[in-house]
Protein backbone atom coordinates (compact mmCIF):
# COMPACT_ATOMS: atom_id res chain seq x y z
CA UNK A 1 0.00 0.00 0.00
CA UNK A 2 1.42 3.40 -0.92
CA UNK A 3 2.25 5.59 2.07
CA UNK A 4 -0.26 8.21 0.93
CA UNK A 5 -3.09 5.69 1.24
CA UNK A 6 -1.88 4.51 4.64
CA UNK A 7 -1.64 8.03 5.99
CA UNK A 8 -5.04 8.95 4.56
CA UNK A 9 -6.51 5.90 6.32
CA UNK A 10 -4.84 6.85 9.60
CA UNK A 11 -6.14 10.41 9.33
CA UNK A 12 -9.59 9.04 8.51
CA UNK A 13 -9.41 6.78 11.58
CA UNK A 14 -8.38 9.74 13.70
CA UNK A 15 -11.13 11.97 12.33
CA UNK A 16 -13.80 9.26 12.67
CA UNK A 17 -12.56 8.55 16.18
CA UNK A 18 -12.69 12.25 17.06
CA UNK A 19 -16.20 12.74 15.69
CA UNK A 20 -17.62 9.58 17.28
CA UNK A 21 -15.88 10.00 20.62
CA UNK A 22 -16.92 13.65 20.79
CA UNK A 23 -20.52 12.67 20.05
CA UNK A 24 -20.50 10.05 22.81
CA UNK A 25 -18.54 12.20 25.26
CA UNK A 26 -20.64 15.34 24.86
CA UNK A 27 -23.76 14.97 22.71
CA UNK A 28 -24.81 18.59 23.28
CA UNK A 29 -21.19 19.80 22.94
CA UNK A 30 -21.29 21.27 26.47
CA UNK A 31 -17.90 19.67 27.24
CA UNK A 32 -16.29 20.40 23.85
CA UNK A 33 -13.05 22.35 24.23
CA UNK A 34 -12.81 23.62 20.65
CA UNK A 35 -15.01 26.74 20.50
CA UNK A 36 -15.40 26.53 16.71
CA UNK A 37 -16.45 22.87 16.80
CA UNK A 38 -18.79 23.61 19.71
CA UNK A 39 -20.55 26.35 17.78
CA UNK A 40 -20.42 24.83 14.27
CA UNK A 41 -20.42 21.10 15.02
CA UNK A 42 -21.44 19.61 11.68
CA UNK A 43 -19.48 21.89 9.34
CA UNK A 44 -16.37 21.56 11.49
CA UNK A 45 -16.60 17.77 11.61
CA UNK A 46 -17.31 17.57 7.87
CA UNK A 47 -14.45 19.90 6.95
CA UNK A 48 -12.14 17.90 9.19
CA UNK A 49 -12.47 14.95 6.84
CA UNK A 50 -10.82 17.03 4.10
CA UNK A 51 -7.62 16.51 6.07
CA UNK A 52 -7.57 12.98 4.62
CA UNK A 53 -6.44 14.55 1.34
CA UNK A 54 -3.29 16.09 2.85
CA UNK A 55 -1.02 13.04 2.29
CA UNK A 56 -1.82 13.17 -1.42
CA UNK A 57 -0.59 16.76 -1.50
CA UNK A 58 2.45 16.24 0.76
CA UNK A 59 3.38 13.03 2.58
CA UNK A 60 5.36 14.77 5.32
CA UNK A 61 2.44 17.12 6.07
CA UNK A 62 0.21 14.04 6.09
CA UNK A 63 2.34 12.63 8.90
CA UNK A 64 2.07 15.93 10.75
CA UNK A 65 -1.75 15.84 10.41
CA UNK A 66 -2.09 12.15 11.32
CA UNK A 67 -0.35 12.47 14.69
CA UNK A 68 -2.69 15.03 16.33
CA UNK A 69 -5.71 13.41 14.65
CA UNK A 70 -4.95 10.15 16.43
CA UNK A 71 -4.00 11.81 19.71
CA UNK A 72 -7.23 13.83 19.89
CA UNK A 73 -9.23 10.61 19.71
CA UNK A 74 -7.01 9.00 22.34
CA UNK A 75 -7.57 11.96 24.65
CA UNK A 76 -11.34 11.88 24.14
CA UNK A 77 -11.49 8.15 24.84
CA UNK A 78 -9.37 8.48 27.99
CA UNK A 79 -11.91 10.93 29.47
CA UNK A 80 -15.05 9.30 28.19
CA UNK A 81 -15.66 6.87 31.05
CA UNK A 82 -16.28 9.63 33.57
CA UNK A 83 -18.59 11.65 31.33
CA UNK A 84 -20.50 8.54 30.28
CA UNK A 85 -20.81 7.37 33.90
CA UNK A 86 -21.87 10.71 35.36
CA UNK A 87 -23.64 12.02 32.28
CA UNK A 88 -22.78 15.15 30.36
CA UNK A 89 -24.75 17.52 32.60
CA UNK A 90 -23.35 16.14 35.86
CA UNK A 91 -19.83 16.25 34.43
CA UNK A 92 -20.37 19.87 33.48
CA UNK A 93 -21.79 20.61 36.95
CA UNK A 94 -18.74 18.93 38.51
CA UNK A 95 -16.42 21.12 36.46
CA UNK A 96 -18.37 24.23 37.43
CA UNK A 97 -18.17 23.28 41.13
CA UNK A 98 -14.44 22.71 40.83
CA UNK A 99 -13.99 26.04 39.03
CA UNK A 100 -15.92 27.82 41.76
CA UNK A 101 -13.45 26.47 44.34
CA UNK A 102 -10.29 27.24 42.36
CA UNK A 103 -8.56 30.04 40.53
CA UNK A 104 -8.20 30.03 36.77
CA UNK A 105 -4.43 30.40 37.00
CA UNK A 106 -3.89 26.90 38.40
CA UNK A 107 -5.59 24.83 35.68
CA UNK A 108 -4.21 27.13 32.98
CA UNK A 109 -0.68 26.61 34.29
CA UNK A 110 -1.23 22.86 34.38
CA UNK A 111 -2.63 22.64 30.86
CA UNK A 112 0.23 24.73 29.48
CA UNK A 113 2.62 22.61 31.54
CA UNK A 114 1.21 19.52 29.84
CA UNK A 115 1.78 21.21 26.47
CA UNK A 116 5.40 21.82 27.41
CA UNK A 117 5.87 18.08 27.90
CA UNK A 118 4.40 17.38 24.45
CA UNK A 119 6.87 19.94 23.09
CA UNK A 120 9.72 18.27 24.97
CA UNK A 121 8.72 14.88 23.52
CA UNK A 122 8.55 16.45 20.05
CA UNK A 123 11.96 18.01 20.57
CA UNK A 124 13.39 14.68 21.71
CA UNK A 125 12.05 12.94 18.61
CA UNK A 126 13.45 15.65 16.34
CA UNK A 127 16.79 15.54 18.14
CA UNK A 128 17.07 11.74 17.94
CA UNK A 129 16.02 11.56 14.30
CA UNK A 130 18.76 11.51 11.73
CA UNK A 131 19.46 14.75 9.92
CA UNK A 132 17.92 13.44 6.71
CA UNK A 133 14.75 12.02 8.30
CA UNK A 134 12.13 14.58 7.31
CA UNK A 135 9.29 12.20 8.22
CA UNK A 136 10.48 12.02 11.84
CA UNK A 137 10.72 15.81 11.90
CA UNK A 138 7.13 16.09 10.69
CA UNK A 139 6.04 13.49 13.23
CA UNK A 140 7.70 15.66 15.88
CA UNK A 141 5.93 18.69 14.45
CA UNK A 142 2.64 16.78 14.74
CA UNK A 143 3.36 16.12 18.42
CA UNK A 144 4.19 19.77 18.95
CA UNK A 145 1.04 20.81 17.11
CA UNK A 146 -1.03 18.54 19.33
CA UNK A 147 0.55 20.13 22.41
CA UNK A 148 -0.38 23.55 21.09
CA UNK A 149 -3.96 22.47 20.30
CA UNK A 150 -4.35 20.97 23.79
CA UNK A 151 -3.13 24.19 25.40
CA UNK A 152 -5.14 26.50 23.15
CA UNK A 153 -8.47 24.67 23.23
CA UNK A 154 -7.99 23.71 26.86
CA UNK A 155 -7.43 27.36 27.74
CA UNK A 156 -10.58 28.43 25.90
CA UNK A 157 -12.54 25.70 27.67
CA UNK A 158 -11.21 26.63 31.10
CA UNK A 159 -11.94 30.32 30.59
CA UNK A 160 -15.49 29.44 29.53
CA UNK A 161 -16.04 27.15 32.53
CA UNK A 162 -14.60 29.67 35.00
CA UNK A 163 -16.73 32.49 33.57
CA UNK A 164 -19.82 30.35 33.90
CA UNK A 165 -18.85 29.38 37.46
CA UNK A 166 -18.52 33.06 38.38
CA UNK A 167 -22.02 33.77 37.07
CA UNK A 168 -23.61 30.75 38.76
CA UNK A 169 -25.15 31.13 42.20
CA UNK A 170 -23.00 29.48 44.88
Q: Is 87 left (phi over 0), alpha (psi -120 to 50) or beta?
A: left
pLDDT 10s digits, 58-90: 999 999 999 999 999 999 999 899 988 999 999
Domain that holds residue 105: 3-167
* Tally of structural domains, the chain: 1
Predicted local distance difference test score (pLDDT) of residue 131: 80
Residue-averaged pLDDT of the chain: 93
Kindly state the average pLDDT of the residues 18-25.
92
The answer to whether residues 67 and 139 touch, using CB atoms and an 8 Å cutoff, is yes
Predicted local distance difference test score (pLDDT) of residue 101: 94
Number of H helices and number of E strands within the chain? Answer: 8, 0
pLDDT 10s digits, 99-148: 999 999 999 999 999 999 999 999 999 999 878 888 999 999 999 999 99
Kindly state the average pLDDT of the residues 52-62.
96
Q: Is the per-residue pLDDT at 170 higher than 70?
A: no
Predicted local distance difference test score (pLDDT) of residue 168: 78
pTM to 2 decimal places:
0.87
Predicted local distance difference test score (pLDDT) of residue 7: 97
Predicted local distance difference test score (pLDDT) of residue 133: 83
- Nearest to 145, CA basis, from 38, 78, 77, 70: 70
- Nearest to 63, CA basis, from 146, 133, 143, 7: 7
Q: Give 140's contacts (C-beta < 8 A, 6+ positions apart).
A: 122, 123, 125, 126, 129
Say what percent of the chain tops pLDDT 70.
Answer: 99
Amino acid sequence: MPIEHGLALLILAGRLGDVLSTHFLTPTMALEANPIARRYKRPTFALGFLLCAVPYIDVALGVMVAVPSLLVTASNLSRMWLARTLGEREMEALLLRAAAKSSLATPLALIWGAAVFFWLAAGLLAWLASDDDAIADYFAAGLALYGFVVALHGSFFLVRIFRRAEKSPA
